[in-house]
Amino acid sequence: MKFFVDSADIEEIGELADTGLIDGVTTNPSLIAKSGRNFLDVIKEICTVVDGPVSAEVTALDSATMLKEAAVLRGLAENVTIKVPLTMDGLKTCKALTDDGASVNVTLCFNANQALLAAKAGATYISPFIGRLDDMGIDGMELIEEMREIYDNYDFETEILAASIRNINHVKSCALIGADVATVPGSVIKQLAKHPLTDKGLEGFMADWAKTGQSIL
């Protein structure tokens, strides 16, 4: 499973990119607003930090304007993925963009029927929002399971990009079900490497090493 970091924080993205574990980046208007910086500047800079796809979201609601915005975003860097909402106008835009060779991430997916339409429109990625479904008392993982089955039934090439991930259990469940990508906050990515027994074991090893009085360097 690929990992995208869900962030518009250049420092955080750079730190994670240096680990070699990050395959791309997703952003959205809320993350850009939190950064307090110019949208186009942020996207352009992120694209210099990571080689993989960087999702940049259009803000228009009609297809004609979405396409105009997409043209601007595509001009920023070759690895920009255009992010469009899962509406009829968004799907129309997705179809036009993918036909033109663009990478498209259809976002704000909350049921399997929406996911089916996105695949039919040729979406490169589809972003189901797990955490927001959980907030409503709906098991977000059931949606990932349904999407995986439907996409496999018809050999759709659209990649399931699990979004709105809140914790490490979400990540594990997505991997078990077979999501193609998980876009994860930087804090959650770092938590994946942690376990109290790892910390305890390392502490014991270091204590024993200190007793030897040796040094590798």
Question: CATH no. for residue 185?
Answer: 3.20.20.70
- The low-confidence residues of the chain, meaning pLDDT below 50, are none
Query: Rounded to whole angstroms, how far apart are CA atoms 154 and 137?
Result: 30
Query: Rounded to whole angstroms, how far apart are CA atoms 147 and 117?
Result: 11
Half-sphere exposure of 71 (CA within 13 A, CB side): 6
Position 75 in a domain: yes
Residues serving a catalytic function are 83
Q: Is 65 exposed, middle or buried (0-12, 13-18, 19+ CB in 10 A)?
A: middle
Tally the domains of the chain: 1
Helices 140-154 + 168-177 axis angle, to 10: 20
Position 102 in a domain: yes
Record the tokens describing residue 88, joined without a space.
């009829």
Cβ contacts of 70 within 8 Å, gap of 6 or more: 58, 82, 84, 93, 97, 102
What is the predicted pLDDT for the residue at 122? Answer: 98
Which amino acid is residue 173, in one-letter code? S
| Kind and range of the H or E run holding 127 | strand 125-128
What is the predicted pLDDT for the residue at 170? Answer: 97
Query: Rounded to whole angstroms, how far apart are CA atoms 57 and 184?
Result: 17
Query: Rounded to whole angstroms, how far apart are CA atoms 169 and 188?
Result: 10
Query: Rounded to whole angstroms, how far apart are CA atoms 70 and 111?
Result: 25
Q: Which residue has the tokens 């090439």?
A: 157
Position 170 in a domain: yes
DSSP 3-state of 101: coil
What is the predicted pLDDT for the residue at 116? Answer: 98
Query: Rounded to whole angstroms, how far apart are CA atoms 37 and 35?
Result: 5
What is the predicted pLDDT for the residue at 207? Answer: 97
Q: Give the range of the structural domain holding residue 41, as residue numbers without chain letter.
A: 2-212
Position 63 in a domain: yes
Position 154 in a domain: yes
What is the predicted pLDDT for the residue at 58? Answer: 97
Q: Between the CA of residue 105 and those of 21, 22, 84, 167, 191, what are the distances in Å?
A: 21, 17, 6, 22, 26
Position 190 in a domain: yes
Query: Rounded to whole angstroms, how far apart are CA atoms 133 and 144?
Result: 11
What is the predicted pLDDT for the residue at 138? Answer: 96
DSSP 3-state of 62: coil
Whether the model clears a pTM of 0.75, i.e. scores above it, the answer is yes
Model confidence over 61-99: pLDDT tens digits? 999 999 999 999 999 999 999 999 999 999 999 999 999
Position 217 in a domain: no
